[in-house]
Structure 1
Amino acid sequence: MTTLTSSNYRVFATRPEQQNESWVLRLRSLSYLAVDTPMLAIVPVAEPKHLQAIRDTILRLDQFYALIFVSQNAVNYGFEWIDQFWSEFPAGLSCFAVGSKTEQCLRDCLDAIYPAFAAPLVSGGEAMTSEALLNVEALLGVESKKIAIFRGLGGRTKLQDSLTSRGALVEHCELYHRTCPAEMSQQLSEFGVCIESDIFPLFSGETLENFHNILVRQSLPEWQSVQLVVPGERVAKYAQALGFKRIKVALNASEPSMLNALSECTNRV
């Protein structure tokens, strides 16, 4: 049998445009034939009711015990708002991040905008899950404490449900929404899909859903047999439920974990 090297595989880079450029470069540096095809778009909210809800939360920032940021997008969009209304970061306010990458993004924003900020930052570490963050000591005793979760519209309610069950007063600050890029279907048609040598690393359940919908709409023969790389068992189970058969599960949605899983796919004989 023929051994395929990384250069024989075409890897579709499917991250949102904001993150995809660096992901493409990283894939190409490892000799993958990377195809720049974002399958998820991150768009800031624009409806007046959503903008007013964000403003109301930001103006009350000093009333909260903690802010939780679920993603790098939540950090970036969140601090665009915070910077508008707070010349100094509220004293005593703790910040938490879901995962080490979001934690680093949070540190970078604080260093750039509020260099005097000295409170510790806490994350769920390499696990990059809400479940891991909920195990940190500072979020165990939160009865009657106000917590704001910075995130996109919709999504999982695990953090809110768990913290509310511990007695916390939780509200969401929803800054953006996720959608399917308008050009995604055309791009996939132009590039085509080769079942034998194409690999699709999908960093989220929303990306997986967009990809599935396009494949079904285009009636791609044997679409169930395309090779996926997904972050964690939760997204893997969703992929199975949608009908996909070849699913490689990464430890989490960090680029190193996804690359490790991708490498295992491409090292097959």
Structure 2
Amino acid sequence: MLFLNTRPADRATPLSQFLQAAQVDVLDLPLLELVPVPWSEQLALQYAELPSVQVIVVVSPSAVQYGMEGLQRSGMALAALQHVQWIAVGEATAQALQAYGLQSHVPEVETSEGMLDLPVLHQLPRMAKIAFWRGEGGCQFMMDTLRSAGMELLNFVLYRRQCPEQASKILAKNLARLQAQQRYCMLVTSEAGWLNWRKLTAEHADLLNHAHFLVLGGRLFHVLEQDRQIHQSAFSISQLNDLRKESILKQIAAVQGTR
């Protein structure tokens, strides 16, 4: 069974190599690429406020990279944030923070819902100040929930996400191969990625009906389930709670019926 690795190109290789070593047929087809937001007066003002926050939520390794680059550009030393507690969406983000000597809280489920369950957030007083290092459109559910709970948010939009130009070319090149698959398996890690796949396959609706989607978290599972019901599609879905290579391989094995 063919597996479509839809992770951004700079993050796809470790997963693809791991799965190929386990005899999984893999096609790299990135559905998102990240483009840094240009430096602006607004970002400079936000960095100046950063020492006043209690928690910084970091949503991806790229957010770590762009966030730290912005910190350096602002002229602020990391030592000015010694009092801050860091939240990382998952292990990869936590490792990126660790490279700067920063320990972080990591949820069991690597989603906004998982981060909202962390004790560190429940222990904050009302009107505590929380910064988000994120991409355009990301983590909106978590931010809305915290704002409703009376928290003050400092919103750093550090990058935007777009569908890579090569995605349509990769699909066109492999269209016959995909159509020949009785069933294929595909990773979906965000609603933006799912919407990009929907657009790419708009003229090939049959592709959806023999797909099994591995989706990250309950909210995204619900998005695909609603889509399936609205369009009366025949694809199937499994939920992932994290993006560990071993977890993905386990789910692929379950789909193949080899577990």
Q: Do residues 239 (structure 1) and 224 (structure 2) align?
A: yes
Q: Do residues 65 (structure 1) and 54 (structure 2) align?
A: yes
- In the TM superposition, what is the alpha-carbon distance from 1:267 to its structure 2 partner? 2.6
Q: What do the CA deviations read for 1:34-75 (whole angstroms, capped 9, x no partner)?
A: 1122111111113x6xx3322221222212122111222212
- In the TM superposition, what is the alpha-carbon distance from 1:33 to its structure 2 partner? 1.6
Match among 121, 127, 135 for residue 109 of structure 2 = 127
Q: Secondary structure of the equivalent of 1:128?
A: coil
Q: Which residue matches 2:249?
A: 259
Q: Which residue matches 2:146?
A: 163
Q: Secondary structure of the equivalent of 1:178?
A: strand
Q: Is the 8 A contact 1:13 1:24 kept in 2?
A: yes
- In the TM superposition, what is the alpha-carbon distance from 1:82 to its structure 2 partner? 1.6
- In the TM superposition, what is the alpha-carbon distance from 1:196 to its structure 2 partner? 0.8
Q: Secondary structure of the equivalent of 1:183?
A: helix
Counterpart of 1:198, as a letter, is: Y
Q: Which residue matches 1:4?
A: none
Q: Which residue matches 1:213?
A: 199
Q: Secondary structure of the equivalent of 1:82?
A: helix
- In the TM superposition, what is the alpha-carbon distance from 1:222 to its structure 2 partner? 5.1
Q: Is the 8 A contact 1:128 1:253 kept in 2?
A: yes
Q: Which residue matches 1:45?
A: 37
The 1-side partners of 2:207 and 2:94 are apart by 40
Unaligned segments of structure 1, at least 5 residues? 1-8, 112-116
Matches within 5 A, 1:73-222: 73-84=62-73, 85-90=75-80, 91-108=82-99, 110-111=100-101, 121-124=104-107, 126-140=108-122, 141-192=124-175, 193=178, 194-216=180-202, 218-221=203-206
Counterpart of 2:89, as a letter, is: V
Q: Is the 8 A contact 1:43 1:177 kept in 2?
A: yes
Counterpart of 1:221, as a letter, is: D
The 2-side partners of 1:246 and 1:213 are apart by 16
Identical amino acids, percent of aligned pairs = 23
Q: What do the CA deviations read for 1:177-232 (whole angstroms, capped 9, x no partner)?
A: 1111112112111112134143212222221111111111x335353332222223
- In the TM superposition, what is the alpha-carbon distance from 1:268 to its structure 2 partner? 5.5
- In the TM superposition, what is the alpha-carbon distance from 1:143 to its structure 2 partner? 1.9
Q: What do the CA deviations read for 1:87-126 (whole angstroms, capped 9, x no partner)?
A: 3422312211223332222222x22xxxxx6xx52222x2
Unaligned segments of structure 2, at least 5 residues? none
Q: Is the 8 A contact 2:63 2:133 kept in 1?
A: yes
Q: Under a length normalisation based on structure 2, what TM-score does the superposition of the two structures give?
A: 0.85
Q: Under a length normalisation based on structure 1, what TM-score does the superposition of the two structures give?
A: 0.83
Report the number of matched residues. Answer: 248
Q: Secondary structure of the equivalent of 2:79?
A: coil
Superposition RMSD in Å:
2.2
